[in-house]
Copies of this chain bind each other. A is one copy, B any other.
Amino acid sequence: MSEAGPGPGPVAASVCASATAAGGAGGGADALLVRCRALVRPALARAVGQLHPWTSEMAAFSLGWADVDGTPEPGASEGKGVRQALAVLGAEAVGADGRAAVAGAVAVELVHAFSLLHDDIMDGDTVRRQRATVWKAYGTGPAVLAGDALFALAVQSLAEVPGRHTGPAVRRLGGTLTDLVRGQAEDLCFEGRPWTGPGAVPPDAYRAMAEHKTGSLLGCAAALGALLGGAPDTTVAALDRAGRHLGVAFQAVDDLLGVWGDPAVTGKPVHSDLRRRKKTYPVLAALAADTPAARELAALLDTTGTPAVTGSAALPGPGATLDDPATAAHAAFLVERAGGRDATLREAADQLDAARACLRGVPLAPGPSRELDALLEFLLHRVV
């Protein structure tokens, strides 16, 4: 059953064949993320410090700044800060000082922390970044409260920015918040839909979900930076669209990692998304193919917990479910054979191209524009 292994090598290597064009996508983006975190961190820490001590403690834990007892844990479990970097670069790309974007960067990071926190409750996830999730560490009720506190703080932080950009900035954040929640609703509703037939999830519905759930906040981050940096509406809108495409690409790569990612790096069990029967892009794309592997995959998925009777030597025996590692591995093999992996790589590359086209369509300062490119590619290369 060696052919049912986790697939040909690391996922990320082949996502962006053109990545090297921008140069330094790895180290350059790392340094950029460090710089943006350093710029935004004081204001972010100040905002979190304004919360009630209890919610502040949970917020610090969720941001990776402290352990569950409140002991500072500098950087150990901190996120990369992609959204704050997009905000800072959004401002710099329109010729403003990155500091103009700080309030927007704080708001999007807080919204991101809120959404991870509440999504972990809804998804029942117990581990994030190699640590317990907030609900697992503090209880469900307190985690709901901590998420609400971050959400409220995001709105307040941005609304308190003095100046003429506040109204449009908060309007943009408000639309993003509803998009984000809509995306989570769509994703949860996918779970109840069939794998095949008229009720199955078409690729466009998946893209809309990914754009809402992931793209809206990435787009908002870049757009807020530009807006607070004084950019014209067309530039702000282009950065928003770029971020939305990036979000779909990001989600597609996330889906690849959820099936073929290295557990030591992702912190999730191998084939975790398959075992949870998530409606991910690779599986949906595989099922859409008209091939024997696609049909075998459909039969396997439709008969979870019951014997998959197809006579294939690679198929697991009677009684197998996707919880069974061998069955999940076989499903991953079928997804790949039916073209699901390649289709997802293409989708990610296409969305990345679309994001780049949005950026090329408006006048941006060359230096920050190159940094934006590097960040885009870094995100698609990520292995966590």
Q: What residues make up the interface of A, taking CB atoms closer than 8 Å to B?
A: 50-52, 54-55, 118, 121-124, 140-142, 144-145, 147-149, 151-153, 155-160, 166-167, 170-171, 173-175, 177-178, 180-182, 184-186, 188-189
Chain B's nearest CB lies how many Å from the CB of A94? 21
Report yes or no: A189 in contact with B54, Cβ–Cβ below 8 A. yes
Given A145-B181, A181-B148, CB of A186 within 8 Å of CB of B52: yes
Chain B's nearest CB lies how many Å from the CB of A207? 16
Given A140-B140, A148-B151, CB of A175 within 8 Å of CB of B156: yes
- Write out the residue numbers on chain B whose beta carbons fall within 8 Å of the beta carbon of A149: 178, 181-182, 185
Bound complex: CA A178 to CA B145 (Å): 11
Report yes or no: A185 in contact with B54, Cβ–Cβ below 8 A. yes
- Write out the residue numbers on chain B whose beta carbons fall within 8 Å of the beta carbon of A181: 52, 55, 145, 148-149, 152
Complex: chain B residue closest to A149, CB-CB: B181
Q: Which of A152, A153, A182 has the most CB of B within 10 A?
A: A152
Report yes or no: B145 in contact with A122, Cβ–Cβ below 8 A. yes
Q: Which of A51, A144, A160 has the most CB of B within 10 A?
A: A144
Report yes or no: A188 in contact with B121, Cβ–Cβ below 8 A. no
| A156 partner, pick from B158, B174, B186, B189, beta carbons under 8 A | B174
Chain B's nearest CB lies how many Å from the CB of A151? 6
Q: Which of A54, A158, A185, A186 has the most CB of B within 10 A?
A: A185
- Write out the residue numbers on chain B whose beta carbons fall within 8 Å of the beta carbon of A180: 152
- Write out the residue numbers on chain B whose beta carbons fall within 8 Å of the beta carbon of A123: 141
Chain B's nearest CB lies how many Å from the CB of A305? 22
Complex: chain B residue closest to A122, CB-CB: B141
Q: Given known contacts A54-B185, A149-B181, A166-B167, what 9 new A-B pairs fall within 8 Å (CB)?
A: A50-B178, A122-B142, A122-B145, A148-B181, A149-B182, A149-B185, A152-B174, A159-B174, A166-B170
Chain B's nearest CB lies how many Å from the CB of A277? 16
Bound complex: CA A100 to CA B184 (Å): 33
| A173 partner, pick from B55, B118, B145, B159, beta carbons under 8 A | B159
- Write out the residue numbers on chain B whose beta carbons fall within 8 Å of the beta carbon of A141: 121-124, 188
Bound complex: CA A208 to CA B182 (Å): 35
- Write out the residue numbers on chain B whose beta carbons fall within 8 Å of the beta carbon of A189: 52, 54
Top 4 A-B pairs ranked by shortest CB distance?
A156-B174, A152-B177, A122-B141, A159-B174
Report yes or no: B155 in contact with A188, Cβ–Cβ below 8 A. no
Complex: chain B residue closest to A54, CB-CB: B185
- Write out the residue numbers on chain B whose beta carbons fall within 8 Å of the beta carbon of A182: 51-52, 55, 149
- Write out the residue numbers on chain B whose beta carbons fall within 8 Å of the beta carbon of A145: 118, 122, 181, 184-185, 188
| A174 partner, pick from B55, B155, B177, B178, beta carbons under 8 A | B155
- Write out the residue numbers on chain B whose beta carbons fall within 8 Å of the beta carbon of A166: 167, 170-171
